[in-house]
Structure 1
Amino acid sequence: MLRIAICDEQGNSRREMYDFLTDLWSKDHIQAAIRVFEEMNNLLEQYKKEEFQIIFLGFHADKPEKVQAAEKLRALDDDQCMVFFSDSRKFALKSQEVYASGYLLLPLERSKAEALLCRLIRREFPQADKSFEIKMKKECRRIPYHDILYMESQNRIVMIHQLDGAVYQIYDKLNRVEQSLKDSRFLRCQQSFLINMEHVKEVNTKFLLATGISIPIRRGQVRQIRDIYYQYLMNQK
């Protein structure tokens, strides 16, 4: 479970961030415990007792003590993940100086905020990433999205190929599986194939995956599908 802290002196923006995070992570089946703080001093005091994986810091006015607190957090832990949020861009430089992992503008633009946080979770906390639940004869198993290399459909059987070479089979339609994933990293590049674009090494008339496997692209739509992939790459920057 992720342990999250939100610190912001303004109630409206504090609630906006809290509501956004709880909605996003409940939708993505990510378990997170969120603590909310109004004052930085209270956060720093609690920080001595409780580890937070991500700290969201709200900035709305020039408050030297808050900037100093952010610097203190960084001094306490080089690896602490911090995300700044503000209704102004003027704190962006300070966020870079303390090596913040992101900067969100208020009011939140959901698509951009979701993209940033999903990238952050996948990069920093892969164990907390979204997962795909499959039901087998004697058990249910959750496969983290990051571990999925590609999926292949054959005669109403969907084969889930993992990065480590493991393959799981489920009786289902690839259309229905694709709809249930609801994640931008997955691309239906051909009628029988759904790839995870995280693991694409190269693309021309086929996708070359990180493991050396080539996946075909739907005939007549090579340019459109490659454009989708290139747009995905742009969104990851």
Structure 2
Amino acid sequence: MLRIAICDEWENSRRELYALLTDLLSKYRMHFTIREYQEVNNFLEQYEKEEYQIIFLGFHADKPEKVQAAEKLRALDDDQCIVFFSDSRKFALKSQEVFASGYLLLPFEQPKAEALLYRLIRREFPQTDKSFEIKTKKERCRIPYHDILYLESQNRIVMIHQFDGAVYQIYDKLNHVEQVLRDSRFLRCQQSFLINMEHVKEVNTKFLLRNGVSIPIRRGQVRQIRDIYYRYLISQK
């Protein structure tokens, strides 16, 4: 789960950034929460209780408290991702002094914002960079791990089901593919199925994925497999 805070006294710019981030993160199919703060002092009070991976600070005038907030955040955590955004370049030097992770100008340009966000996501979640290289009869390509819903084996054919509905087929054994992937998000829940736990909606005696597909769980191991899934969920919080 990616947790983001936006602190800015201007409601319009907060809303614009919120909409932009929601659009981009939905495209990456990431689980995320975004909290908005108008008053910097209120944000600093909550910062001690909340844990944010990316913080966006809006600068529109020479307000000492906003600069002090950036300095305090850096003092509390020298690895915190802080991004400045403003309608002016005048705060760029201060952003460098507190080692900000980026600087965005209003109005936001989506390509620049997306490039910055993707860089920060790769920093916070290195696993999103992973991809599975496959070779079919027609092409060779890489499938990002987060695009994979589940893999299904039939005889010597492994079908890779993607979130967008596309299905790739490769000649291989599921045992071998599982070894190649070697990632905690993938769970062998049944002899013929390997699921991506990122996309599980709910679980009982089967896994229900976010696209509505139900995947069976190996008989006699329902409790053990569900425990693995619950531990995975806890590890992502």
TM range (shorter): 0.5 to 0.7
Quote the offset at 1:26 in angstroms.
1.1
1:117 aligns with 2:100: no
1:100 aligns with 2:83: no
* Partners of 2:83 and 2:100 within 8 A in 1: yes
Match runs of 1:160-179 below 5 Å: 170-171=158-159
Quote the offset at 1:29 in angstroms.
0.4
Q: Show the counterpart of 2:8.
A: 8
* Partners of 1:6 and 1:34 within 8 A in 2: yes
2:13 maps to a residue whose letter is: S
Q: d(CA) in 2 for partners of 1:45 and 1:58?
A: 17
SS at match of 1:20: helix
Q: Show the counterpart of 1:63.
A: 63
SS at match of 2:133: strand
Structure 2: gaps (5+ residues): 146-150, 152-156, 167-237
Q: Residue 78 and residue 170 in structure 1: after superposition, are their counterparts in 2 closer, same or farther (change >3 A)?
A: same
Q: Show the counterpart of 1:90.
A: 90
* Partners of 1:59 and 1:85 within 8 A in 2: yes
SS at match of 2:30: coil
2:130 maps to a residue whose letter is: D
Q: d(CA) in 1 for partners of 2:51 and 2:116?
A: 22
1:44 aligns with 2:44: yes
Q: Show the counterpart of 1:27.
A: 27
How many residues were matched structurally? 156
Q: Residue 160 and residue 94 in structure 1: after superposition, are their counterparts in 2 closer, same or farther (change >3 A)?
A: closer
Quote the offset at 1:148 in angstroms.
1.4
Quote the offset at 1:66 in angstroms.
0.7
1:148 maps to a residue whose letter is: S
* Partners of 1:159 and 1:170 within 8 A in 2: no
1:17 maps to a residue whose letter is: L
2:134 maps to a residue whose letter is: M
* Partners of 2:133 and 2:140 within 8 A in 1: no
Q: d(CA) in 2 for partners of 1:148 and 1:24?
A: 19
**Aligned residues: percent identity?**
66
Q: Show the counterpart of 2:223.
A: none
Quote the offset at 1:37 in angstroms.
0.1
Q: Residue 179 and residue 96 in structure 1: after superposition, are their counterparts in 2 closer, same or farther (change >3 A)?
A: farther
Cα shift readout 1:169-208 (whole Å, capped 9, x = no counterpart):
7548xxx99997xxxxxxxxxxxxxxxxxxxxxxxxxxxx
TM-score for the superposition, normalised by structure 2: 0.59
Q: d(CA) in 1 for partners of 2:95 and 2:130?
A: 31
Cα shift readout 1:2-49 (whole Å, capped 9, x = no counterpart):
111000000110100111111111121011111100011011000111
* Partners of 1:158 and 1:171 within 8 A in 2: no
Quote the offset at 1:77 in angstroms.
0.8
Quote the offset at 1:151 in angstroms.
3.3
Quote the offset at 1:160 in angstroms.
5.7
Q: Residue 10 and residue 125 in structure 1: after superposition, are their counterparts in 2 closer, same or farther (change >3 A)?
A: same
Q: Show the counterpart of 2:53.
A: 53
TM-score for the superposition, normalised by structure 1: 0.59
Q: Residue 85 and residue 178 in structure 1: after superposition, are their counterparts in 2 closer, same or farther (change >3 A)?
A: same
Q: Residue 161 and residue 53 in structure 1: after superposition, are their counterparts in 2 closer, same or farther (change >3 A)?
A: closer
Q: Show the counterpart of 1:151.
A: 134
2:104 maps to a residue whose letter is: L
